[in-house]
Structure 1
Amino acid sequence: MKKKTERDIMEFPEDFNQLELLNTHGHLIPRGASSLWNGSKDEEEDMEEEEAEHSEEWYLEKEETLNDKPAELLLWAAENNRLSTVHQVLTADPLLVHCCDEDGYTPLHRAAYGGHVDVVSALLAAGSKVNPRTIDGWTPLHSACRWSRITVASFLLQHGAELNAQTNGGLTPLHLAASHTSASKTDSAHTLELLLSQRHLKAGLRSNSGETASELARRSGPHHFLFEMVEDSVNVLLVS
């Protein structure tokens, strides 16, 4: 049975705030082939630690169960930083680099939100598009910025990622970076700095709820001061 998407499950007025929705219903953002995210930020970190503790035998057993489902195997391998498996699957069928799950998440999306830059590099080298869209309009850069994966975000930008891409709800990567900052995680501030330093950034783009990334950062994060990087300079007239 097809997994319901965010818009299948809930109905919203036209002016709903999608960023507040992410905070309250972030468990609906797919992070795996069949999982629903339902934790707080602390639980996110705990889960990352748990994933890192899996033994090599666990990974091999998981790969064995997916051997007859190469698309699922590639998606799983990209998410779990199994670079050799990614190479093996794509060697057997190069076109699988364009596969996606039922929500439109490609292997590149999976590797991006996992922060796996070597896998990202391998997928792009194998012909992956750099700006594929999920059914909600997310690009891999959106995914990387949502999870403060600064190395991946930088790599994607260097390879043509759309800096100002907007989701179906009007969210840019900058909106997502601004809405998920943490004073205790330096990568969240660095991700904002990376985006704000980009020459072609359109920092004033508004989401469907009418909010800019700067306005969002002012009310939801500790790093609003970073937006001074893109504020208009004060013109000073020199009097001779």
Structure 2
Amino acid sequence: MEFPEDFNQLELLDTHGDLIPRGARSSWTASKDDEAEVDEGERTEEWYQKKEELLKDKPKELILWAAENNRLSTILRLLAADPLLVHTCDEDCYTPLHRAAYSGHVEVVCALLAGGSEVDPRTIDGWTPLHSACRWSHVAVASCLLQHGAELNAQTNGGLTPLHLAASYTSSSKIDSTHILELLLSKRTLRPGLHSSSGETAGDVARRSGPHYFLFEMVEDCVSVVPS
């Protein structure tokens, strides 16, 4: 699917957000003989073990699946056998770190970083794991990535920063949406005035998309009342 250079990527998220990987909703290549997927809340340990058994001879697929599904022990076992698996990516260039980030699995994120994962790998759309964490308001993951040097002001191919994605207010939790914005806006190196390819700043997005625009007062220029 091709889009003009000036298309609004955030509007695309609103209309086609179901196509963006998000935890258990993302796609992965499995056996055609595999049984139908079950809801995440209905998954048992037996179900996870069966999945791992199906992928045991496909370590690259297995580590991607394990990162997305919070299978920390499986990831540690795979990396002990082959440390280079940490750099695996799928056809859209999502790495295990991306998958753990958009799923909100902070322990897996930390393990992958400790195992040698780059902190800012890019998907074909230019998304970093920090973009993924901020898109879904995973505060602990975003904090961990920033502590490991993630680029706070990284822009996607459409010019979106993590702040743009946090400002779009897409989380089902109002509290999480507030906290992710507070985290980003508290950073001294933040560049809130960066524009997306559609010409919007993150503040513009917040103004039209959600109830948290007032938080941007944290980074607005203050009027000095001190006599000159």
- TM surpasses 0.5: yes
| Residue 108 (structure 1) aligned to one of 87, 97, 105 | 97
Q: Which residue of 2 aligns with 1:91?
A: 80
Tell me how far apart the structure 2 counterparts of residues 185 and 21 of structure 1 sit (CA, whole Å): 22
RMSD between aligned alpha carbons?
Answer: 1.8
Distance between the aligned counterparts of 1:200 and 1:103, measured in 2?
30
**Long gaps (5+) in structure 2:** 30-36
Of the three residues 147, 157, 163, the one matched with 1:158 is 147
User: What's the counterpart of residue 60 of structure 2?
Assistant: 71
How far apart are residue 236 of structure 1 and its match? 1.2
**TM score, norm. by length of structure 1:** 0.87
Which residue in 1 is equivalent to 2:33?
none
Q: Percent identity?
A: 74
Any idea what the Cα deviations from partners look like across 1:61-83, whole Å, max 9, x if unmatched?
00000001000000000000000
How far has the Cα of 1:188 moved from its partner?
Answer: 0.9
| Offset, 1:29 | 1.5
Counterpart among 17, 25, 30 of residue 8 in structure 2: 17
Question: Partners in 2 of 1:116 and 1:229 — Cα distance?
Answer: 29
Residue 181 (structure 1) shift: 4.4
Which of 212, 215, 221 is matched with 1:226 structurally? 215
Q: In the alignment, residue 174 of structure 1 is paired with which amino acid?
A: L
Say whether the 8 Å CA contact 1:181–1:223 is kept in structure 2.
no
Query: Could you tell me whether the CA contact under 8 Å between 2:185 and 2:216 is conserved in 1?
Result: yes
**TM value normalised by structure 2:** 0.91
Aligned mates of 1:52, 1:97 — CA distance in 2: 27
Question: Structure 2: how far apart are the matches of 1:67 and 1:25?
Answer: 33
Correspondent of 2:18 among 2, 27, 32 = 27
Query: Structure 2: how far apart are the matches of 1:182 and 1:101?
Result: 25
> Which residue number in structure 1 is paired with residue 166 of structure 2?
177
Letter in 1 for 2:153: N
What letter corresponds to residue 25 of structure 1 in structure 2? H
Post-superposition offset of 1:92: 1.0
Aligned equivalent of 1:143: 132
Structure 1: unaligned runs, 5 residues or longer: 1-8, 36-46
Name the count of aligned residue pairs: 218
Say if 1:75 and 1:107, in contact at 8 Å, map to a contact too. Answer: yes
